Structure 1
């Protein structure tokens, strides 16, 4: 689903597949436990967590306070996951690429 977004590439991030736009990660897939991590804004995160905290929950620690959100793939509806994944992609794609 993530690879359907324009300009998205899949690259390894430690032992996990990551999905990137202009080399910025917007999602990772944790294959061992069937979870995904989405890079949301804190506001977007609060919306999804309030929708269902058994499905969406902040990444433990400081990253979670910045909007990074775990998603239980086995429990999430496909349409809701696609909506959250789209928000993560749009958040990264909307930012201009940093000059090198």
Structure 2
């Protein structure tokens, strides 16, 4: 079962990722843009492409869901990480990072991978 410390470790392995407070939660950002947040509960919120979000909600019912309203329509997605394996969550975190990272950074990251 994944914990908040696992989420932190996964997020901070991404290039130029940093952890900063965001209201009552923790945010993970690249170049000032938030790609993920987490609170005290076993859930993270990730910034995904809306099409990826739809596919993931369908593939992982009860584990992945869209945030309600405007934010969800724009790709913000809740992930109940306690019910997910580390490799899957790591992949989702990379997807979120790619959505907000500068293109030059994404390109350099893809070349290193």
TM-score (norm 2): 0.79
Closer, same or farther: CA 94–47 of 1 in aligned 2, 3 Å: farther
Partner of 1:11: 20
How many pairs were matched up?
Answer: 95
Q: Secondary structure of 1:18's match?
A: strand
Deviations 1:34-64 (Å, cap 9, x if unpaired)? 1000000101101211111211000011101
Gaps spanning 5+ residues in structure 1: where? Answer: none
User: What is the RMSD of the two structures over their aligned residues, measured on CA atoms?
Assistant: 1.2
Q: Secondary structure of 1:5's match?
A: coil
Q: Which has the higher strand share?
A: 1
Greater RCO (CA < 8 Å, at least 6 residues apart): 2
Closer, same or farther: CA 95–61 of 1 in aligned 2, 3 Å: farther
